Structure 1
Amino acid sequence: SYYGQIITFTYPLVGNYGVNRDDFESINPAVKGVVVREAAEYPSNWRNQITLSQFLKEKGIPGIAGIDTRKLTKLIRKEGTLKGILAAETANKEELLHHLRSVRLPVDQVHEVSSAKAFASPGDGKRVALVDYGVKSSILRELNKRNCYVTVVPYNTTAEEILAMHPDGVMLSNGPGDPKDVPEALEMIRGIQGKLPLFGICLGHQ
């Protein structure tokens, strides 16, 4: 859901619990940067494996601390989505502004994060077609916990292809960007509406 974005955390101290593999929502995070007021250097939790700082370094994601995130949050709330860049105080501000102005926000975000091919996560219960617009791992885990037989399909799977699977229901996942940028989704939804139970989360709900 955060593909291509810089995340600003509003809580003043981030990383208290550290990071552990069991809580990952994807193998590789799609964020471009992390902004916090204060980063916890010594996490205190029995499940902790590495610190937030170590995690970001491992994944090649820039992060910055010491920012007035309350002020930044109010600015975003007032102005809406803004372009941003993380840089050292010594960086040339004119060059940074020139770079920001030239950046075009992506419109093919779902294409970048969706599964390229369908795959199954077997179970003995209801059969669910899970359309991947950038699905969180926990959604798949929760369906498997309920013994569902889940088939994860790419974002551009057609209504005909889904109906041919004879699922008991269809789940439209979370994901990044604007629903208008995924016209394939609307066409597919119109093709299955009234024929199968339909459930949407986040982008899928929109």
Structure 2
Amino acid sequence: MDLVRTELFDRLERFYDAVPRDGARSEEYGSLVLFVRDGAGWPFYARPRLDATAPPSLADVTAVRARQRELGLPEAFEWVHETTPDLLAVARSAGLNVLEAPLMVLDPAQLPDPATLSDVPARVLDPATPGFARDVAIRRAVAAVGFSNAGTARGEAGPAERDAAVARLDVAALDEEGGRITDGRRIS
């Protein structure tokens, strides 16, 4: 792997490890770390520990799954295959159904001129803007609809599916996300 890709994967691993730490406590199980949310909000996942010296084992995965079940959490694991390739076989041997999703990284040098992308303006959510809570809900619903459909091609889902997803969102989780945007810990 070339140096640029190595640096990119290292940066991504640090990011994936850092994001849940803002609102969760970490519990270590061998070469894995489980992030357990403090308070309301969407549940986090388990992932390889940054400082692990060995790949995650079947015992590590089994221990995390038992803890997730004990806490009533989804049995969710996330990792970058290029960084932790051994985890795929271990996860499958533990009985997990694994979704292999491509890691898409946009090369900044290949960014198109923003004026050519759309006539719909993009903006950062501002807590001072009327309708902020609704904007947070819509942003989360768009992500839910997008990630619930396979592939990278444009799908059939539209405003009706987005609005249905808004109705299913956890209000406490939306409040938590809005609070993180308001206090500057998240940009959305």
TM-score, structure 2 length as denominator? 0.30
Which is richer in helix? 2
Flag the structure with higher strand content. 1
Question: What's the TM-score once normalised by structure 1's chain length?
Answer: 0.28
